[in-house]
Structure 1
Amino acid sequence: MSHEEILLSDARLTSPAAARQLQYSEMPRLQGEKKKFNEFLAVDVAHTVMLVEQNIIKPDVGRAILQQLQIIRDMEPEDFPIDARKGSFLLQIESRLFSTIGEDIGGQMHTGRSRIDQGATVRRLYQRNRMLDVMERLNTFQIAVAESARTHARTMMPGYTHMQQAQPWVFGHYLLSFSSRLHDSFERLTQAFNRVNRNPLGTVGLVGTSWNLNRLRTTHLLGFDGLVENAKLGREAFYAVDALSALSFVMADLNDLATDLHVWSTAEFGLVECDDSYCGTSSIFPQKKNPTALETIRRSAGPSVAWVATALATFRGEGTGDQAMREAPVLDDALNTVEGMLDLFTGVMETLIVHETRMADALRNSWATSSNLADVIVRERGLSFRQVHHIVARVVRNSLAASMAPHELTGSMVDEAALETVGKALGLSDNLVQAALDPRQFVDTRITDGSIGPRQVERLLAHAQAERMADRRWLEEKRAALRAAQSELDGAVAQIVNKPH
């Protein structure tokens, strides 16, 4: 260029940006936008292709622009120079074009668009792509959980309510409950993805444009599923609340699993143990092995409860006018957090040590099978469950007072409790009483759908596998659609760039 470049702000503002403005406003925004380097280039390329195809700009102009955009696209993002005085990343790319092909040529790329719809498109592209990354991690974590569930499909452990032993449980069944929750979370993410993956390009600033844009063409080239139909909604970002809600559910899943494993890894429980590679030590207590990976996951889950509230509060503060605050990075940060914690937890689950003997021993002296004894009495003697509940509760009270373990209980002791509560003996044999209190028999006799019985656990394993496969297919189809769109965009660029003058 024969003269110094005119900055966008120079034509309207009488003073250049203050140093503080550049430091605290422009540079942080630019650093955030630079993370979306590939998406910025994709939008510029697709828009330019469409302008040429619609005869809005001449083929030679489009060719010159696309050639330079290809050069930039081949750069590493960190190698692309930025100057905070020039403004947003859109203007940084424009400046690069102006320095090589001139403003009269490079400036035509911005025909028929605003920084509003261009920026909104970049953000949706980036967040769509990042959501797929997160969902890929979620699917991998689902596999790790399911593999452990299959390994421990017959591993008995105490089940807890109110942090007290309630009934015998199966560790694999416990993990399969998280398979179901994670699949639900995956489905929520697909629903949010459908609202994120809409094309705002061509809505321009607020009301559309007089240029004959083909919005469906850019939708197709960028791999969007559809349009943002109303131009007023081009920059609307409430879709981010959907995404944040789905992501916060994932963090709730991770938090609950991490919390249980954290508690069960204490010396008092001793049911599970994290591999040393996911633990830390104490600076003062030599015996300590701290499950720091689980603590990291739980700590990261804390702020997730406020993600939706933060976004809604920010958006509602703007009304429907100036929506600049909708660029707040809460969604980008949430995506990073969820992806990282899924990856970390996958490692924890793949190496988790399960103390099966300790789990079984915890049931040996447990009264967790008391509800089964109650069911047996109801069947054998025809009393109401409420009457039998009184009897068995007294059996437990009397046994604890006498320091008697469940495997020592006899029929006569049950009769004693029955006489004290309902006024008559039951006459149960010792063998029947002992069989009713056996943890393995308890597990094997659970037959209802979704229960801990062996056949039901096998069914749940198969069901979880089918859900994971469905989730994987969804991901593969979306990835394939985006690859096809990229291939078509590359082909359209080649047709313009390589077409004889």
Structure 2
Amino acid sequence: MSNGRETKVSAPVWSHSPEETGEIRERLVAFCAGRDVEPLPACDEALLHEDLATNEASTLALCAAGVFSRKEAAEICSALQHLRREIEQGYIRLDPRYEDVHINIEELLRAYAGEVAGKIHSGRSRNDQVACDIRLWQRDRVLAHLGNLIETIRAFIQRAEAEKATVMPGFSHHQRAFVTTFGHLLAAHAEAWLRDVERGLALFSRINRCPLGAAAGFGTSWPIDRDQLASFLGFEGLIENSLDAVSSRLEVEADVAGWIALWMTHCSALAQDLILFSMEEFRWVCLSPETTTGSSIMPQKRNPDFAEVIKGKTALAHGALASLLSLGKGQPSGYHRDSQYSKQIGQDLWGEAFQIPEILRIVIETAELDRERMRAATRGGFLEAAEWADYIAREAKIPFREVYTAIGQAVDRARKKGRLDARTVNATLKERGISYRVDEKAAARFESPEGLLAARATKGSPNPSLAEAHLTRLRSEVEKHAKAIRAAERKISAAEKSRLAEIARLAKG
């Protein structure tokens, strides 16, 4: 906040969290406020590092092709080193007179190295440059996001382990349906996010292909080694067809948006679970003070704003995907200026989505549960009805649908009582002409939520005795994917280190 004087605001007016949780609160406020108070940078300023990298790679390829003399190579590489320092220290701002990041960097290099900088565009077009910049930029964000997903999935699994026997109702059609556990609910979200990680790794592989050297889409007569360019930038390989290399620029952003949109749909489902279960009408989940916000007029409010914001951001993600697909649907092959509008959509999408894993991790780690209320909510509502039907059909060896009808009638008879018992069920079976009877000992298994869960025999069900095997498999999947992410990061880092070392060697002349 600025009023011409130094002003410090220690907390929002609605803050209820203790001072020691201020860092979490600040992150939450920033997440929820977003663009209401924070401006976005120019799209091409976000690509400064990536465009510098493509210039470094192009310079090395041109040096290998003999385009630069030794003296010229030293001059341009020294200029690239100087420009990297300026960018890393935040000194560079784009000049609108030069239209985009590509010409801005070329002009900066010209200022540092003189007219030799004009050679750096040999065999290159802004078409393949921007396609390469976008792949580099999106590649880094996909990898970073995958790492964040992994950390949050670990938190889900850890909490699922702790709550594997915390019973609660499960829902279908917004109605209580059967007994489950809070651990099983969290494990379900963890498994969905693991599929998002799998999709993200496949997406990364598609993005991690180099378009540089395709020029305007028709190749070049300059003797440039495109495989070498890809290696300098840590790509897995090429988008070999030169026309596809520039035509697929928008595909990258749409592919990323599709991935984010589906993952955010999963986030929205978790957000809605947390909203419902933290409502006064449920009070199963108590969100920590630092993860909730308040009202400017009602002091008692503890609002799950983060969850509502996630749902809103999910709608934006779906809209971004639709916009990107619409941009591409009427274009012929090649580069066209309307593609330029994909850049801001792709960047804005990350601005909305990138913090979500950390926010949800903090929420899950700090939330408290009212386990007694959760268990009490499993009483009434006939959550045991399906197990009665299953048990009788299995033991009597008669068609399930026949027993299903009988149990439905028994439920209607027992509405006032609120639960099924052997007497009511047996009377209904007799009326239906079914000879099987349930004894009191067998009926006792249906009286507790733990007994109902213990009867679940299928892999992946909420039976606490089966949960550990499921969670162990999830942990194994997490570590496998984490290993793949680290390997990709190491390869990119090694390529950058090698590229910068070669630039430094040539700069010495």
Same fold per superposition (TM over 0.5): yes
Segment of structure 1 superposing worse, 92-101 or 53-62: 92-101
| 1:143 pairs with 2:154 | yes
| 1:310 pairs with 2:323 | yes
- Residue of 217, 235, 241 corresponding to 1:224: 235
- Give the 3-state SS of the residue equivalent to 2:281 in structure 1: coil
Structure 2 Cα separation of the partners of residues 316 and 413 of structure 1: 63
Going from structure 1 to structure 2, the CA distance change for 1:83 and 1:436 (only over 3 Å counts) comes to closer
Going from structure 1 to structure 2, the CA distance change for 1:376 and 1:119 (only over 3 Å counts) comes to closer
| 1:62 pairs with 2:73 | yes
Shift of 1:30: 8.9
Seq. identity, %? 27
Residue number in structure 2 paired with 1:85: 97
Residue number in structure 1 paired with 2:143: 132
Listed one character per residue, the Cα deviations across residues 267-286 of structure 1 (whole Å, up to 9, x for unaligned) are: 22222121111112223444
Structure 1 Cα separation of the partners of residues 139 and 322 of structure 2: 21
Going from structure 1 to structure 2, the CA distance change for 1:456 and 1:121 (only over 3 Å counts) comes to same
Unaligned runs of 5+ in 2: 1-38
1:31-46 matches, within 5 Å, as 31-46=42-57
Do the aligned residues in 2 keep the contact of 1:148 with 1:349 (CA within 8 Å)? yes
Structure 2 Cα separation of the partners of residues 94 and 321 of structure 1: 24
- Matching residue's letter, 1:348: V
Listed one character per residue, the Cα deviations across residues 281-334 of structure 1 (whole Å, up to 9, x for unaligned) are: 223444322111111111111122233321111012322254222232222222
1:359-374 matches, within 5 Å, as 359-374=374-389
- Residue of 242, 260, 264 corresponding to 1:251: 264
- Give the 3-state SS of the residue equivalent to 1:363 in structure 2: coil
1:426-441 matches, within 5 Å, as 426-441=436-451
- Matching residue's letter, 2:242: A
Structure 1 Cα separation of the partners of residues 378 and 105 of structure 2: 67
Listed one character per residue, the Cα deviations across residues 341-365 of structure 1 (whole Å, up to 9, x for unaligned) are: 2222122112122221111111133
Residue number in structure 1 paired with 2:428: 417
Larger RCO, structure (CA 8 Å, separation 6 or more): 2
Shift of 1:47: 0.9
Shift of 1:482: 0.7
Structure 2 Cα separation of the partners of residues 75 and 251 of structure 1: 36
Structure 1 Cα separation of the partners of residues 495 and 335 of structure 2: 33
Residue number in structure 2 paired with 1:485: 495
- Give the 3-state SS of the residue equivalent to 2:414 in structure 1: helix
Shift of 1:244: 1.5
Shift of 1:217: 0.9
Structure 1 Cα separation of the partners of residues 202 and 185 of structure 2: 27
Shift of 1:29: 12
Residue number in structure 2 paired with 1:335: 350
Do the aligned residues in 2 keep the contact of 1:199 with 1:228 (CA within 8 Å)? yes
- Residue of 265, 274, 297 corresponding to 2:310: 297
Listed one character per residue, the Cα deviations across residues 63-105 of structure 1 (whole Å, up to 9, x for unaligned) are: 10110111110124641143211222222122222223322x1
How many equivalent pairs are there? Answer: 466
Shift of 1:178: 1.4
Residue number in structure 2 paired with 1:325: 338
Residue number in structure 2 paired with 1:96: 108
- Matching residue's letter, 1:492: E
Structure 1 Cα separation of the partners of residues 479 and 500 of structure 2: 31
1:159-170 matches, within 5 Å, as 159-170=170-181
Structure 2 Cα separation of the partners of residues 131 and 280 of structure 1: 30
Q: TM-score, normalised by structure 2?
A: 0.87
Residue number in structure 2 paired with 1:75: 86
Q: Alignment RMSD, CA only?
A: 2.0
Segment of structure 1 superposing worse, 231-240 or 209-218: 231-240
1:344-359 matches, within 5 Å, as 344-359=359-374
Residue number in structure 2 paired with 1:467: 477
Shift of 1:53: 1.5
Do the aligned residues in 2 keep the contact of 1:134 with 1:335 (CA within 8 Å)? no
Q: TM-score, normalised by structure 1?
A: 0.88
Going from structure 1 to structure 2, the CA distance change for 1:477 and 1:118 (only over 3 Å counts) comes to same
- Give the 3-state SS of the residue equivalent to 1:364 in structure 2: coil
1:180-259 matches, within 5 Å, as 180-236=191-247, 237=249, 238-259=251-272
Going from structure 1 to structure 2, the CA distance change for 1:360 and 1:343 (only over 3 Å counts) comes to same
Structure 1 Cα separation of the partners of residues 334 and 231 of structure 2: 30
Structure 2 Cα separation of the partners of residues 410 and 183 of structure 1: 41
- Give the 3-state SS of the residue equivalent to 2:180 in structure 1: strand
Structure 2 Cα separation of the partners of residues 289 and 404 of structure 1: 36
Residue number in structure 2 paired with 1:18: none
Do the aligned residues in 2 keep the contact of 1:149 with 1:172 (CA within 8 Å)? yes
Do the aligned residues in 1 keep the contact of 2:234 with 2:496 (CA within 8 Å)? yes
- Matching residue's letter, 1:481: K
Going from structure 1 to structure 2, the CA distance change for 1:30 and 1:54 (only over 3 Å counts) comes to farther
- Matching residue's letter, 2:357: L
Do the aligned residues in 2 keep the contact of 1:414 with 1:426 (CA within 8 Å)? no
Shift of 1:135: 1.0
Going from structure 1 to structure 2, the CA distance change for 1:404 and 1:72 (only over 3 Å counts) comes to same
Structure 2 Cα separation of the partners of residues 448 and 187 of structure 1: 25
Larger radius of gyration between Structure 1 and Structure 2: 1
Structure 2 Cα separation of the partners of residues 29 and 380 of structure 1: 65
Segment of structure 1 superposing worse, 302-311 or 470-479: 302-311
Unaligned runs of 5+ in 1: 1-27
Listed one character per residue, the Cα deviations across residues 87-137 of structure 1 (whole Å, up to 9, x for unaligned) are: 22222122222223322x121111111111112111111111111111111
Structure 1 Cα separation of the partners of residues 497 and 377 of structure 2: 59
Listed one character per residue, the Cα deviations across residues 212-238 of structure 1 (whole Å, up to 9, x for unaligned) are: 001111110100111111111232221
- Matching residue's letter, 2:359: L
Shift of 1:35: 1.1
Structure 2 Cα separation of the partners of residues 215 and 125 of structure 1: 16
Shift of 1:410: 4.2
- Matching residue's letter, 2:231: H
Do the aligned residues in 2 keep the contact of 1:250 with 1:338 (CA within 8 Å)? no
Residue number in structure 1 paired with 2:15: none
- Give the 3-state SS of the residue equivalent to 1:428 in structure 2: coil
